[in-house]
Chain A
Amino acid sequence: MEDTLTLTHRDDSASRIGMWLFIFTELFLFAGLFLVFTVYRTKYHEGFHLAARELNVTIGTINSIILLLSGMTMGISYVAIKKGKVKFTVWMLTLTILLGIIFLVNKYFEWRIKFEHGLYPGSLELIGLSHGDVMFFGLYFFMTGLHALHLIAGLILISIVIVAVIHKRVHQTKYALLENTSLYWHLVDLVWIFLFPLFYLIN
Chain B
Amino acid sequence: MDIPVPFILSNKLIIMDRIIKLLADYKLYLFTFIALSLLTLVSVGLTQIEVASKIAIGIILFIAAIQALILLVFNMHLKYQDKILAIFAGVIFSLIIFLIIITMLDFGNR
Contact = CB atoms under 8 A, between A and B. Distances in A.
Contact of B29 (A39, A79, A83): A79
Interface string A68-89: 1101100110011001000000
A71 B33 contact: yes
Contacts of B15: none
Interface stretch (A138-146, A169-177, A191-199): A191-199
Contacts of A201: 43-44, 46-47, 60
A24 B92 contact: yes
A68 B40 CA distance: 10
Interface of B: 25-26, 28-30, 32-33, 36-37, 40-41, 43-44, 46-47, 56-57, 60-61, 63-64, 67-68, 71-72, 75-76, 81-82, 85, 88-89, 92-93, 96, 99-100, 103-104, 107-108
Main secondary structure of the interface of B (DSSP, over half): helix
**Looking at chain A's contact residues, is the secondary structure mostly helix, strand, loop, or mixed?**
helix
**In the complex, the 3 A-B pairs of residues with the closest C-beta atoms, listed nearest first:** A75-B29, A72-B33, A31-B96
Given A75-B29, A197-B64, A38 B96 contact: no
Interface of A: 13, 16-17, 20, 24, 27-28, 31, 34-35, 38-39, 42-43, 57, 61, 64-65, 68-69, 71-72, 75-76, 79-80, 83, 183, 186, 189-190, 193-194, 196-197, 201-203
A18 B56 CA distance: 38
